Amino acid sequence: MAERSLYPDTEPYDHGHLDVGDGNRVYWETCGNPHGRPALVLHGGPGSGAGPFYRRWFDPERYRVVLLDQRGAGRSTPPASAYTTDMSVNTIPHLIADLELLRAHLGIERWLVAGLSFGSVLGLRYAQTHPGAVTGLVLTGLATGSREEVRTMMRGLGRVFPEAHAAFVAGVPEADRDGDLAAAYNRLLESPDAGVRERAALAWTDWETAMASLPPRSVPRYQDPVFRYGFARTVTHYWSRDHFLDGPSTVLRDLPRLKGIPGVLVQGTLDLNNLIGIPWRIARDWPDAELVMVDAAGHDAGAEGIAQQLVAATDRFGRP
């Protein structure tokens, strides 16, 4: 069967805010066929929020597609961009509990789970802890939330982008420059001084932009100071705390729990997480997954080759 590009966008036929406790209300929407195969999409970041692009991975005639903005992101409330928002109740266990509340709210027994970047971390952990709720996984921009991955982003890539990394390191107090940079930035982003928070958010997103492996090396949403702060605050909150997992490589350790769950892993050959072999390690320890490498593509799920493979994967799972 020939690969195809993304499906046309479709508007949600239903949406709402689900009260998940701790003062949080998670935004969700459903689109496609109300009687179709249920599919859940998990956005990246953490903190990026969901958007219309994710709907286009699925045939709207075959799928009932569920999107949500994870705690603090997008249209969910309260936003991480509000300094008074309590981030202590924004963890992977909280996000997984939210998914189960949403699944029950929508009356879904099992669903296909798709995820991008941090969405692949969350999707893998959700499937490891709730395998009976997952019919399959389609993941791209692969990540597992391991301490090794964070160390690569914070230190290892400094050898690849030395000028940008020097500016990034200089953005924290001198006493913190040889330590945990994600933790140092998180402390700045939690400062009571708005100017300190704003400068830290800009320095963080400048480094995120510099790490892009392919042009264009710009991210328009980072120009929005509200998004920029909420995003940087959420990422550093997770990265400085082992993603709130029970160890430095929990998802990698528990990959054997996915036995019997089929998966498709779509990865660009120029995605920088390949430098420590994350896609190969996932595929090695999860025999029911197929790894599809896309030449000359990076971390961008919108790249034509990656988009084609994502649609091919969901088409396959959507067959009768």
298, 213 contact by CB (below 8 A): yes
Active site residue 299: yes
Cis? peptide before 34, omega within 30° of 0: no
125, 282 contact by CB (below 8 A): no
231, 45 contact by CB (below 8 A): yes
Distance of CA 27 to CAs 10, 75, 192, 265, Å?
A: 18, 6, 28, 27
Active site residue 165: no
Which of 76, 180, 299, 315 is labelled catalytic?
Answer: 299
Cis? peptide before 60, omega within 30° of 0: no
Place of tokens 């992977």: 92
Which of 117, 120, 213, 240 is labelled catalytic?
Answer: 117
Burial class (CB in 10 A: 0-12, 13-18, 19+), 214: middle
Active site residue 117: yes
Burial class (CB in 10 A: 0-12, 13-18, 19+), 130: middle
Which of 59, 180, 271, 300 is labelled catalytic?
Answer: 271
Q: Which residues are marked as active site?
A: 117, 271, 299
